[in-house]
Chain A
Amino acid sequence: MFRDLNPLLHSELRLAVVSILIGVESADFVFIRQQTGATAGNLSVQLDKLAKAGYIEVEKTFRGKMPCTVCRITAVGRDAFAEYVEALQTYIKK
C-alpha cells in the first residue's frame, strides 16, 4: 500500500532545502540559493512555509554590516524528513 507523502515536503524546492539542512548544522540563505539555483523571492516564500510548519528555524542576523539569514533544521523537521523518506520507499518497492 502506498503511504501518503507529506505535501509540505513533496515539492522540489522545499525538499531540496530540507535535504541540504539535514546534512549541516546551519546554512545561510545565500548558500541555499546557490545550491538550489532558486530565485531569492521563491526561496524566501518556501523557507517561510517550512518555518511556519516548525520544520526549520530561521535566524535573521548580521555578518559584518551585511544582513544574513541562517537556517537550521529542527527535530520536527528531521522526523518529518525521515517519515517522508520511509513513505517514498513504499513507492519504490512497488
Chain B
Amino acid sequence: MEDRKLEAAESLELIGRMIENTRSRIVRNSGRPLLAWGYATVLTTLVVWGAVVGFQDPRWNFLWLLLPVLGWLLMWLMRGKRTEGEARTFVDRVIGNVWFVMGLTAMFVSLLTLFTPIRLPILFIILLIMGMGTAVTGLIIRFTPAVAGGTAAIVLAPLTMLVGNMWQPLLFIVGFVVMMIVPGHILNHTSNHPER
C-alpha cells in the first residue's frame, strides 16, 4: 500500500475492506486462557484431594494457594510468539473486565474460607462463578461450546452440595473439564484452522 490519492469509490471500498478485515480477524490459539486455567484447576484439585484424603489432615487445603501460581505459570508457558501484531477491541476489554471481577470474587471467597472461621460451600461457589464467567464469555464471542460448558457447570454446581465430601472434588473436576478444557481445545482448533 502506498501514499497515493484515491477515487471516491476506491476510498469507500478500502474503508469497507479494512474494517471487515479487522473485525473478522482470527486470533490464533484463542483458547489458551481457558486451557491454562482449566488444567491448573484440575491439577490443583487432584493434588489437594489426594493430600487431604491420603494424610487425613484438612490443613492440606492450603495447597489451593498453588492454583493462581500454576494458572499464571501455564499462561506464561503457553504465551504466543511476538511475531504477530496485536489489536485490542471493545470486546477484548469487556471479556477482560468480566474475568477480572469473576477472578477477584473467586479469590476473595476462597481466602475467606481458608483464613477465617467462616465456612462456605466453596466448590459450589467457585463452580457457579466460573460457570457464569464462561457462559457470559461464550455469549459475548458467540461461541456455543463455552455457553454450553458454562451452563453445564452452573447446573453441576448445586450437585456438589448433594454428594458426599469425598465426591465433591470429582464433580468440581468434571465441571472444569466441561466448561474450560473442552471449549478451550475446540476454540484453539477453530482459531488455528479457519474455514477460509
Contact = CB atoms under 8 A, between A and B. Distances in A.
A and B interact: yes
Interface of A: 5, 10-16, 19-20, 22-38, 42, 45-46, 63-64, 66, 85, 88, 91-92
Q: Is the interface of A mostly helix, strand, loop or mixed?
A: helix
A12 B14 contact: yes
A93 to B, nearest CB: 10
Interface in B45-90: 82-90
A7 B8 CA distance: 13
Given A10-B5, A24-B87, A25-B90, 11 more contacts: A11-B5, A13-B1, A19-B18, A23-B89, A24-B22, A26-B87, A27-B86, A28-B86, A45-B3, A85-B15, A88-B12
Contacts, number: 99
Nearest to B83: A30
B22 A25 contact: no
B21 interface: yes
A37 B1 contact: yes
Nearest to A14: B3
